[in-house]
Amino acid sequence: MMNFSQGDIIKISNLKDAMLVVSKNEFIKKTGVFHVCPLLENYAEGPLHIKVRGVKDTSGTAICEQLKLIDPSARSCKRIDRVPYHMIMNVSDAIQGIFEYD
């Protein structure tokens, strides 16, 4: 099984859009699963829609409110790119904002 990390951009079999791995690395190591956000092309930026670009130029808008839990042992996943640290920080901040107290 491939090791995935926070900030990886992956393709999952039978899904059209790329996904951004957003779970902390420690969570991935302990559980073997991870959370992703879909990366959509030509999608307007907003508070929960964060533009990202990978080091290999894969780009899109992370749709932070559409978190999904992926078990890579049950789905065929392939890493295609990786986003820089400052971009995953922006996405993580947006996701954290969903769960803050009012």
Structural domain includes residue 34: yes
CATH of the domain at 38: 2.30.30.110
Q: Which domain holds residue 2?
A: 1-8+18-71
Q: Does residue 34 contact residue 4 with C-beta atoms inside 8 Å?
A: yes
Angle at 6 between CA 100 and CA 88, to 5 degrees: 60
Higher pLDDT among residues 102 and 83, named by residue: 83
Task: Detail the DSSP E strand segments found in the chain.
Answer: 8-12, 18-21, 34-40, 49-53, 59-63, 68-70, 77-82
How many domains does the chain fold into?
A: 1
Structural domain includes residue 96: no
As a whole number, mean pLDDT of residues 66-73 equals 96
pLDDT surpassing 60 at residue 58: yes
Structural domain includes residue 50: yes
Structural domain includes residue 100: no
Structural domain includes residue 88: no
Structural domain includes residue 2: yes
Report residue 30: phi and psi, to 5°. -75, -30
